[in-house]
A = this chain, B = another copy of it.
Amino acid sequence: MREDTAHYLTRVLRLAVGATFVAFDPATAREADATIASVDPSVVLQISALRAARVTARRPLTFVQGLAKGDKCDAVVRDATELGATCVIVAECARSVVQLQGARRTSRLERWTRIAQEAARQCGRADPPRIELLPWKDAVSTLEDDAQRFCLHVHEALPLGPLLLEALRTEGAPIAFAAGPEGGLTADEVALAMTQRWQCVSLGALVLRTETAAAAVLGAVRVLDS
């Protein structure tokens, strides 16, 4: 067993010999019952037969987040994982202040992937979302053909609520949201999304921070789709 996993089981969760839990294999979305057989000198588990994971996402659910400053994207990845997203695409936008090149690009993507795996483990989910980092134009055009696409845009008046309720009526059908970085999307970026069948929608008059918007719309899906 990897050392960080052993630490998580015996130090963070404080599981002792005899304790049971469910072990996930995210790569195959399978799980098994596990019992701690020994902790010293190393952690040894007794594992039942593998089965299909019980708690998986209910539909393909993508969140495209404009690359934002500081740890905002970390928070979006964590929240989106808890709230059932199956894919989080961090999109490099015209108003993204951060520029990720070369090694920083790789390490940031690894960081978000690790955050998604940890969040999935903590919320009891077998299938962490896929994480991608793409230019905006690619981010808004790499979706399932039948996905309902909602672009959160502060200057637009069409309320999301009724459209989302309609989209949720089809069980298992893909849904996607997109939001810009702190400075918002440019008119060109919005126009480009619209050519890819994204609808511009509003969440009302109050201005949301970018990370609150993600939790709000994915929260709405979670509440209405469970």
Could you tell me which A residues sit within 8 Å of B by CB distance?
54-55, 79, 82-84, 122-125, 159-161, 164-165, 202-209, 212, 215-220, 222-226
Contacts and interface: CB of A to CB of B under 8 A. Distances in A.
B223 A161 contact: yes
A123 to B, nearest CB: 4
A217 B207 contact: no
A124 B82 contact: no
A161 to B, nearest CB: 5
Nearest to A81: B206
Given A215-B219, A216-B83, A124 B224 contact: no
Contacts of A202: 226
A24 to B, nearest CB: 12
8 contacts: A83-B212, A83-B216, A122-B209, A124-B205, A160-B226, A161-B226, A203-B222, A212-B215
